[in-house]
Every structure is written in C-alpha cells, then in structure tokens.
Amino acid sequence: MPAVVADPPRWHGEGLTNRSALSYCNRKEEDIQRLLKSLQLFPCFHCTAEILQGRRKKKDCLKRRMSETMSTNEEKKLPLNGRRAIPPNNSNDEENEVPEMEAFGLIPRGFNPRDYLRVEDIYMFKDPHEINKQEHHTDKYYNPKLIVRRGQSFQIQIYFNRPYKPETDQFWLEFLMGRYPQQNKGTYIPILVGNVLKPGQWGAKIIHRENNSIRLSIMSSPTCIIGKFRLYVAVLTPFGILRTRRNSATDTYILFNPWCQMDAVYLDDEKEREEYVLNDVGIVFHGNVEDIKSRSWSYGQFEENVLDACLFLMDKAELELSGRGNPIKICRVASAVINSRDDNGVIAGSWNNSYDYGVAPSAWTGSVDILLEYYSSKQPVRYGQCWVFAGVFNTFLRCLGIPARLVTNYSSAHDNNANLRLDFFLDDEGKVDTRLTKDSVWNYHCWNEAWMTRPDLPVGFGGWQVVDGTPQETSDGMYRCGPASVQAIKHGHVCFQFDSPFVYAEVNSDIFYTKMEKNGTQVVEKIDTTHIGQLIVTKEVGGDRMMDITAEYKFREGSDEERLALETAVMYGVKKQSIQDTTYQPQTDVEMDFQAQKAVLGNDFKVTITFRNKSRNSYTATTYLSGNIVFYTGVTKSEFKKHSFSAKLQPSSSSSFDIVIKSSEYMSDLLEQASFHFFVTARINETGKILAMQKAIVLEIPTLRIKTKGELVAGKETSVIVEFTNPLKQTLENVTLRLEGPGVLRTIKKQFGRIPMNSTLTWEIKCIPMRPGLRKLIASLSCDALRHVYGELNVQIQKP
C-alpha cells in the first residue's frame, strides 16, 4: 500500500498548481471540465457555452474562475488565531467536504475513473434483527442507522462494479467525525484491510467474497471516541484516490461497551449490564426514611431521536471531540449541562412551588419528553427537581453505554462549607430560632452513580462514581458535581477529584442543636450523629424492590473503621469541629421520642411525644411542638401548628402525650410533596437542660389506576384506561394527566377542566404496542391542589 494512504487526505485539489493547470488549457473540453473539477473550479453555464462556440478562449475562462476561487478562498479563510491552527472541533453535527476524486498530481489525458474498481453500494447490516445490532446489544434503539459498541467487531458488505482482485486492487475505509477531522485526534480513522483483526486496534479483514461483493469484519478501538461517524470507502488508482459520495445512510454510531474488557466502562456481570445499561425503566425512591415511597421513571434511552439528543448535549457543553472517549470527561461536563444554572442546560430547576409557563417537576413521567424538547428548542425545559435531574442524567449515561443507576440518600445534608456540621439554633424557651437557623436537611436527595475505571486515581478507586446534575454548589466555576469515587468517600480519601468533600458531607454530617444565651454564648444541647445519611438506596438488579447500599458509602456508626475514615477525611482537609470546641452538657437521664400515626391526605392524624425518665427524680418538662409545611429540601414554607404543654415526668417511668393534627390546619398551604417537618423541644425546668429532635412526615397521596382492554400483541391496537377518584373535600381544577410506556406508547397528555369531590375520572387511550416483552405503563396527575399522584402497570406484550 503506498505511503499516501496513511497520510492525512489532501483535499480540495491542492495537489495541482495553478501553473500546471494552465498548461492544460489547450486540451479538449472534457479535459478542461475534469481539470476544473479536480480543482473544484466549475465554469458557469454561460462561459461553458461560449467556449464551445469559440467565442471565449478556454485559457481566459480558466484564469477568471481561478481568480474568483482564490478570492473566495481568501474570504473563507479562518480568522487568525495565535493559539491554534484550526478552530475547536467540538460539534458532532458539523461536517467537512470530502472530495470524491483526490488527485496525486496532473491527471493525464484519457483518464476515466470508471476504468477502475468502484464502489456501487454499501450494506451496513443495521436492522434490529441483523447481526450487528444483535451482537452489540443495540437492537432496542429506534434508529435506522448502524449503532455498534467500541472494541467489538462488526460487519459491512461492499458491492463493487466488478469482482475485487486483491493482487491489483487496493481500497480502505475512512471514518470521520466533525468539521476538522485529524488522525491524531481520533476524528479521522483510516482502516486498511488486513489478514487478521487485533484486539484493541482499528482494523478490517475480508471474511467472505462473492461475485462483485465482499464482506468485511471491522474492529474498532476500545478507547475510540464515541458519537456519530461518517463512513467513506476509498479506492487507490495510479492517479488519485476515488471515494464514495457522502451518504448519510452509512453513518455509524459508536458507543461505550460494558461488554468489552478493554473498555473503561467494562462491567463483568451480565445481569448488572442488563439492568444498568439496557433497562429503560427505573424506580425513584422518595418520601422519608421512615415512610419510603417509590415511583417509576421512564428513561427511554432507546426511543427515537434520544441518542442524537444525548450527543447534542456534548456539543452544547463544547466538549472537544477528541475527549469523548473518556467517560470521566463526559460525566464531568454532563453534570453541568443537565442543569441550566450557568450554561442554558437541559432543565431549569424550581423549588418555590410556582411553575408558571412550565411543567411541575412531579408531573414528568420520564426523560424522553424533556430531552426531545431541549433538542428541538435549544432552551432549558421548565421545571425539575433532584429526581428529574437524576432521571435525565441516567438516560444520558445509559444511552451512551455507560452503566448507571439512580441513587437516593435519605436525610441528606447540604453542607455549604463542608464542615460536617448542620446547626439548628434554639431560643431561651427551646424553640427553633428561624432567623438564625439557615441549614436544612433534605428529606431525600437523588443523584447518579456511573461505572468506570479511574486511571487518574490510585488503584482501587474505580467502579461506582457519584455524579450529580442537581445545581447545589459550584465546582470549578460551574454548577456540577463529580465524578467522585464511592470508595474514596467511604474511606475518607476526599483529596481525590472530583467534589469528594461535598458528597462526603452529604452522608456524614452531624446535627448540632445549639441554644443562644443572652450574652451571646452558644451552648450545644444535643448532637445527633446518626440522622444524616441514614439510608442510601437504589433499585435492585432485575426487580423493582429497594436495595440498601448505605454500606458502600460509610462504615457502621461508631465502628473503628468509621473513626479511621473520619480521621482520614480530616487529614485531607475536611473541617470537623470537635465537641471540645464548644460547651456541651447533654441531659442524660431523660429521653424523648416522637412518633406519628400514618397520615392520609385530607384526614386528621395524631402525633405522640413520649418521655422516659430514667432517674429517681421527678421532673417537669415544658414542651413545644412546631409543625411546618416544608419543601422536600427541608426549607420551611410556613408554620401551620404550634402547641405547647407542661409534662410531669415521674421517676423511673414513661409518659406519652397525644396531639391531634387537623386537616383544616394544613390543607390550605400544602406543598406538592405533602411533606411536614416537626420540631419538638422540651426544657427540663429543674435542670434547665433542653431535649430536641425533628422528624419529617409525608402524607399518603391517592394513586391512579391503570388497566388494559383487549389483546396485548405487538403491532395490534389495544386500549389503556386510566382512572382516578378525587378523595379531597374540594373540586380539582385544571387537571393534567400524562401516560407513557416505552415500547408501548409515546407520552400522551390530556387536560381536564375539573374533577368534583368524590367523583371518578376515566380516560381511555388506544395505542399499538411495538415491542414484545414485559413493559411498564406509567401515569401521573397534576393540578395546583394535588401533585405527586402516580400510577403504574406492568404489561406483557405478546409476539404477533
């Protein structure tokens, strides 16, 4: 193979000088046309006619066209930039022009490209049932083009104009990406045809020959960049290179490959690959640690146009194409572009219970509508909260082939200064001082974990990495978080990038209840070391139940390992204020507990405060209960319940006190997640000591009922029925219903004017399921008076 094959292609006729071109002007008209074409100089129709009629000299015409082209080229010159020779190559969509004929020099008279081997057609084996998508686990993508995973061979068939003769014919493949493809950047990949395929390297070999066609097996590199490549076949002739025309039908998507041992995202368990890459429906766990709730979320990573939308996110983040083979870089930039805080990213967050000109976060049933709306409008989609950011991020990661899961941390700390301490200030009477108390505990917080190696860290810190698209704090000047090694967080190695101290504080902070004395002295009344990060969960592999992964983030409270991890974190810079730094005199002989009856939206319920006096002394406790309507982030909207009483505590005995919470007290101010936060403080009058605790309560919300009517067969029409009964003592107005099911139906929404109290709404939709197998239907209801209403149904779609 001549050396020119491996060189970067010389495009736009640069192999011919103007002088050599002019020397050819006396040749016949066909030669002029061929020469002009090789230089990309095309005479206008008028000049061509004058030449043929003898009224214009061929040389004059060529000179004029050359002058015009040079002038045009000057105008098209890239702006001068002292830093780099070419502009940044950070768009997968942009393309360069690739010539069909690339001449080595002067083209002799009589040269006819049709005399040489020529490509007539390329067959890509790109249908879902064919070998490529089956072997690469990409058959679920609703995309007509070839989608393969890197580091694994795939096949194409090339049809020539005559039988291929290996002793005389020479050809190769070219994969290109972006506007400025370069071989050393991995955006221009020439592939020579050899006898063997070497794992870990680009290569191609002929595996079958028949008549005018050959079948090639092509191996991609397990470290190549991911995205959409353009494919050309180049044939060598004595006078130049002949290429196939630009054909979008041969475009090839290359994704990460968790099935390939040499890929950075390799995952060795098949069941985990099925769950964390191929499962297009997940579970979001929410509520609070004592009342865990769940809802389904449609990731929809295989739906039509979702792959292109995910690739666009990297263009939007301006990630260089050459960096798109690195899952660390991709996760880092994606955690920023998922939110809109500083880069007009995908989702605009809102935590103020006002969702004008948008969709309430609780109304979304999946990621597809959000991603496609952003891909179409290029404007942030309104609105999202943590589980929405996490759901869309999970879709992005799984779509590109990075194993990912959605994680919920119950009682999650938002520690602004990463000192592992949340302060709740009490006044002289033991009530929470809302003016001084700025910290809050989120009932739950959702983030993602992505699976990858971490060659930038010491051995042992690969595997699951925390990535978070919810905008909380800036990292390197942008609202993003991660990837942070879960192993590093567990062992306190918070010196390792990225954002490990922030995540460590989210699961390990302590709560300090501090009383402010009149002279300004702070007295710590109680330290709660177990409330934060009580439970960290994700969906189990192969099922819908909850899997506890707390032990992957932290050691058992009070264990030697836990103390060592904390010492390590402090050594690496995490600030930890010791108890010795402040006055701490806890009340040890009286304990207080707080329990709540299961509460249903719209009904009264009861809470119980229990004291246990372990001493031989009699005490009197002045007790104060504050009930607050809060956002799930722990931020208070309003205080709806105040109740105080005096409790007499007999020696060595327990005493319980019930308080009734009436629905009329909370319904008018209730927020969408129906979440309450109770603070209970008690001052022991005889000692002056204060007991304090807090508890979150989430009301039971009515659900939607989903059922089907008729046969459930792929390709045949069926009916889905959604029902809802209004349990509230008021009419619901401006109600929106959403229904979706990956492989069954795309998202459908319908507006209903009103649902009177105790009445039942029935909505019937006809659809044609497309994908056989076990599928899930997900529905949501949303209106100003009632949100977070969900329903779901598993359906088995039969093969036709």
574-601 tens-digit pLDDT:
766 555 555 566 667 899 999 988 888 8
Tens of pLDDT along 259-279?
999 999 999 999 999 999 999
Residue type at position 563: R
* CA distance linking residue 556 with residue 558, whole number of Å: 6
What is the pairing mode between strands 203-210 and 213-219?
Answer: antiparallel
Tens of pLDDT along 635-680?
777 888 999 999 999 999 999 999 999 988 888 777 667 678 898 9
* CA distance linking residue 89 with residue 185, whole number of Å: 10
For residue 282, which of 256, 268, 301 has the smallest C-alpha distance?
Answer: 301
How does residue 84 score in pLDDT terms, banded at 50, 70 and 90? low
pTM: 0.85
496 and 407 in contact (C-beta within 8 Å)? no
How does residue 81 score in pLDDT terms, banded at 50, 70 and 90? low
- The number of beta carbons lying within 10 Å of the beta carbon of residue 376 is 10
pLDDT over 90 (residue 227): yes
* Prior bond of 756 cis (ω within 30°): no
Tens of pLDDT along 385-417?
999 999 999 999 999 999 999 999 999 987 656
575 φ, ψ (degrees, to nearest 5): -80, 130
For residue 504, which of 571, 584, 437 has the smallest C-alpha distance?
Answer: 571
How does residue 160 score in pLDDT terms, banded at 50, 70 and 90? very high
* CA distance linking residue 637 with residue 628, whole number of Å: 7
Tens of pLDDT along 468-527?
999 888 888 888 999 999 999 999 998 998 999 889 989 988 888 888 777 777 888 888
- Output the 3-class SS for 166-216: CCCCCEEEEEECCCCCCHHHCCEEEEEEECCCCCCCCEEEEEEEECCEEEE
Widest distance between CA atoms in the chain? 124
pLDDT over 90 (residue 781): yes
CA distances from 668 to 3, 39, 637, 665, 791 (A): 79, 76, 12, 7, 25
Q: pLDDT higher for 3 or 64?
A: 64
* CA distance linking residue 695 with residue 151, whole number of Å: 51
CA distances from 691 to 280, 284, 585, 587 (A): 48, 35, 11, 7
* Percent of the chain's residues with pLDDT above 90: 62
Instruction: Provide the pLDDT for residue 72.
Output: 40
Tens of pLDDT along 619-634?
999 999 998 887 788 7
Structure tokens at 788: 């977070």
Instruction: Provide the pLDDT for residue 668.
Output: 78
What is the pairing mode between strands 474-475 and 478-479?
Answer: antiparallel
Helix (H, G, I), strand (E, B) or coil at 264: coil
| Over residues 697-710, mean pLDDT | 92
Q: Which of 78-82, 236-240, 627-631 has the highest mean pLDDT?
A: 236-240
* CA distance linking residue 657 with residue 391, whole number of Å: 42
49 and 58 in contact (C-beta within 8 Å)? no
Instruction: Provide the pLDDT for residue 352.
Output: 84
Instruction: Provide the pLDDT for residue 794.
Output: 95
How does residue 299 score in pLDDT terms, banded at 50, 70 and 90? very high
352 and 429 in contact (C-beta within 8 Å)? no
Catalytic residues: 386, 445, 468
Helix (H, G, I), strand (E, B) or coil at 360: coil
Residue type at position 588: T
* CA distance linking residue 104 with residue 554, whole number of Å: 65
| Over residues 65-89, mean pLDDT | 52
Instruction: Provide the pLDDT for residue 20.
Output: 35
Q: pLDDT higher for 138 or 602?
A: 138
Instruction: Provide the pLDDT for residue 365.
Output: 96
